[in-house]
Chain A
Amino acid sequence: MGHYLIIRMVGIVPQLFLISLLAFAIMKAAPGDPVAALVGGSAEFMSEADHQRVAHNLGLDRSLIVQYGMWVNNVLQGDLGRSLKDGREIRSMLFEGLAATLILVGCAWGVIALMAVSAGYWAGSRRRSWVDYIVSACALVSFATPTFWMGLILILVFSVELDLFPSAGQTSLGDASFVDQLQHLVLPLLTIVLTQIGPYIRLVRGSIQDTLLSDFMRAARARGLTKSTVVWRYLFPNALTPCITWAGFSFPLLVGGTFIVEWVFGWPGMGRLFLQAAMGRNYPLLMAAVLITGLLVIAGNLFADLLVAWLNPKLRRGYGR
């Protein structure tokens, strides 16, 4: 396992480099004048000297390699710069956003895992029954539903018509109790789960079906093991491993979906921050958001891989790779 861990970690380095390069390059290739964006409406009244002075202070007049070097250096020291719009420190903005996003993503992952495994097992162990057909049909529709639209429909039903849950924000004004936060979490979470769960259910269902047909399952049953032993010791570890790999691989999808949900529900997370930055041409914030999102995804992938390695006895005992 240690060996595997090291190989896996080394593979991250080029990924990190490319993502940082990409985050930087995307922003630099973009048209638009960041100085004007900082100054705002009064930019057209600036003198040429003032303009150059602001550009110089922002480091915009150096060569691209130097700018990249400066940026990486700052990032490594934990300094992500300041937002062009309001001069706030990006690090603190992103930390607040990251916390809110992690709550959403973490809960979504948990709920999806729980629901996908139960629904997938339910359908997979009753092949070609009506349960199987209904679960599969739901999974197909889920896969075809746009995240933002599901959000709108849920708001329409549960906020506008039934008035059960709030439609925006993470807390009510002046009320940050646990119950209040939970109420705010319901609709965004439901939106993510309903639109992202489709592929997971299909994967678990297919994997359970295939595993049930394998010889070791028949052998386990023939030895007279109890049903729960067969399911928990033999079926799940073997059937769910490919699903976890896929969960790690498709983690960017989940994060992307979360970003849209944050926008629809005004959830104060990374996604909303990122979209606000994108719409306001706030380069440093945008750059940092892409970088942190990349890190988040790499971390998610790594987590899934470690989980697989831990579940897979070959890798756990160090025979693999």
Chain B
Amino acid sequence: MAVERVLELDMDRVPANPRTEIVTAFFRHRTAMAGLFGLIALIVLSTLGPSVVGHDPTATDILAIYASPSSSHLLGTDQLGRDLLTRLLYGGRVSLLVGLMATLMATVIGCAYGVFSGMAPKWLEYPMMQLLDALHAIPVILLVIVSEVFGESSLIKMVLVIGLASWMGIARMARTECRRLMEADFVKGAIVAGASPTRLVFRHLLPNMFAPLIVVVTVGIGQAILLESTLSFLNLGVPTTVPSWGNLLGNGMSSVLGGAWWTVLFPGIMIVLTVLSMNLVGDGLRDLIDPKNRSIGS
């Protein structure tokens, strides 16, 4: 795909390496770089930050309940007098980790389902697509809440639930790509040459859908983080003892009505910045892969 595009743009110049071309173009893409920079900053902050700040994320201080931002607590404290900045940085670890792991899982399931239904005979393909459509008719948040209600909440369960509820979009894309690639000459050639289905999938299909896949996955991570925060806000997500961004907002309602704006404002800003960075990177990648597709909502 990259090769085609480069050739289209400049017929005379033979690209040294299509991958280098893509990487160079990505680094030239301003908003994508802003997103990447934001992500790196967030990752550095949440991995190194907690040790720099020097507060204990679980240490309570009854003398400083709902303390407004000051020099001792830069972002103020919450309803138990815990330092918000420290909890925010710790929360970043949890939110990023959940988003990443859940999307990884969704990607594996989605690709498997999508490629399988793309290659399956017609009688099997039809019910598989119908299942996908039917699943799509139920809002993800509904699926996730229903599954979260039952059993003890834990980080691993959270990842499983979000992963299991958000693979449908990836499956749809993988299927479309797979159907397209199955028509391509090189795949037909491989089939004629006697390539096994396994070889077909791992050597020819998956590597060639990597580009559109990475776009969907980047946006998916952002959506998974949003989902995690929503669930934790509803007290249905990550155990309340673990500080995630959603959990910090968990009793946002009472904080807001009590006027403690800092407990609500800062975790939310972190979520917005993270998801925004993810989407910027995703948009940038989409631009590189298909310049025509530039402004379509995901």
Contacts and interface: CB of A to CB of B under 8 A. Distances in A.
A205 B295 contact: yes
B184 interface: no
Given A148-B249, A278-B149, A15 B297 contact: no
A141 B272 contact: yes
Contact of A199 (B226, B257, B298): B298
Interface in A289-307: 290, 293-294, 297-298, 301
B297 A146 contact: no
Contacts of A264: 253
Contacts of A298: 137
B149 A149 contact: no
Interface stretch (B16-24, B44-52, B77-85, B228-236): B228-236
Main secondary structure of the interface of B (DSSP, over half): helix
B194 interface: no
A206 interface: yes
A148 B233 contact: yes
A293 to B, nearest CB: 6
Contacts of A15: 130, 133-134, 137
Contacts, number: 157
A249 B17 CA distance: 39
Interface of B: 127, 130-131, 133-142, 145-147, 149-151, 222, 226, 229-230, 233-234, 236, 249, 252-253, 256-257, 259, 261, 264-265, 267-268, 271-276, 278-280, 283, 292, 294-298
Interface of A: 11, 14-15, 17-19, 22, 26, 30-32, 136, 140-141, 143-149, 152-153, 155-156, 160, 167, 198-200, 202-203, 205-206, 209-210, 246, 249, 252-253, 255-256, 259-260, 263-264, 274-275, 278-279, 281, 286, 290, 293-294, 297-298, 301
B137 A209 contact: no
A256 B165 CA distance: 13
A130 to B, nearest CB: 15
Contact of A255 (B139, B249, B264): B139
B276 to A, nearest CB: 4
